[in-house]
Amino acid sequence: MPGTTSRTEARTPPGRSPGGRWSSASSATAAGYYIACENPVDGQGPRSLTERERQVVELASRGHTNKLAAYTLGLSEASTSLHLSRAMKKLGVRTRAELAILVGAVFRRPSALAGVAPSKRRCAHLRGGRNPGSIEWAMSLPAKRRATYQDLLAVPPHLVAEIIDGELTTSPRPAPRHARASSRLGGVLDGPFDRGAGGPGGWIILDEPELHHRGDVLVPDLAGWRRERLPKLPDTAYFELAPDWVCEILSPSTEADDRAGKMPIYAREGVKHAWLINPFSRTLEVFRLGGSSWLLATTFRGDRTSRVEPFDAIEIDIGSLWAD
């Protein structure tokens, strides 16, 4: 690094935003690197983002609409819009597309850099190990290898393995409440929509299909294809054709990946509907694809019977999904 970087700034522990020329991010890469960005002279930029602005930037960069981000953060839609507007002004971007490019260009995961690195500013990464005072400066972020299907096959069989945004993730087999909700929902949909018994048919409904989409490997709890798009099942052990509907049963260990990791991929691949079911809070969130992002259509809570898109040809006893 040029000798103009002061020793005081170089000794600032990662996770803090020092005054002066440089500021550091609050998160590190898997390789142990922290991001440090040159601060603009006008005092704007990533180090001036509030915590709430960082949260909104993260969700917006993942494709969340203001309405969905507001729901996720427990804010009003107007407040979320204001936070996003202020954050984009500080970061020097004008559109959500620019924001997504900015976030994705420096870190693979937005949560590791939300509001950190503005475009067209000089950035460096530093490696401090356990001693933040001992820092090696460099001018390029080391590339991280994307997980492959061979990595996934090496995971022990008692774990559920997925590749989400290029990263191998594993989770334990579903807990009883999770398994109960998934099994009950599959049973409710199978007769009227897959077999056409007491309903219109026209669907193929499967438990835990393996989806391969541009290097990502996802395993939703349930997925459905309209038969006009998937007349017959493939001979492979996985599906390359994106489903028309997916359902994720949320649990404390998987909710973050389901919401922030898998939902944007489903939107990218053109899945038309997604359900997020939380058997602990007894809620069913119904999302509809609007353009390239999700719209929260409705939320059902507790024990009730209702028509739920895209399976609104019949009424579904939502209360039957919850374990006794």
Tokens 């590339």, located at residue:
143
Give me the numbers of helices (H) and strands (E) for the chain, helices first please. 9, 16
CATH number of 152-321: 3.90.1570.10
Q: What per-residue confidence (pLDDT) applies to 324?
A: 72
Closest CA to 169 of 207, 211, 219, 208: 219
Cα separations in angstroms, 17 against 27, 52, 141, 320: 12, 16, 20, 50
Residue 35 CA to its chain's centroid (Å) = 22
Please tell me the predicted confidence (pLDDT) of residue 33.
41
For each of the chain's 324 residues, which pLDDT tens digit applies?
444 433 333 333 344 333 344 444 444 444 444 444 544 444 455 557 788 888 888 888 777 778 777 877 877 888 888 888 888 888 888 888 777 767 654 433 334 333 333 333 333 333 333 332 222 322 233 445 789 999 999 999 889 999 998 999 998 888 899 999 999 999 999 999 999 999 999 999 999 999 999 999 999 999 999 999 999 999 999 999 999 999 999 998 889 899 999 999 999 999 999 999 999 999 999 999 999 899 999 999 999 999 999 999 999 999 999 977
pTM, entire model: 0.60
Single out the residue of 162, 168, 169, 158 nearest to residue 220, CA to CA. 162
Q: What is the CATH number of domain 7-138?
A: 1.10.10.10
Sorted by where each begins, the domain ranges of the chain are 7-138, 152-321
| pLDDT at residue 12 in the model | 38
186 neighbors 208 (Cβ within 8 angstroms): no
- Fold agreement (7-138, 152-321): no
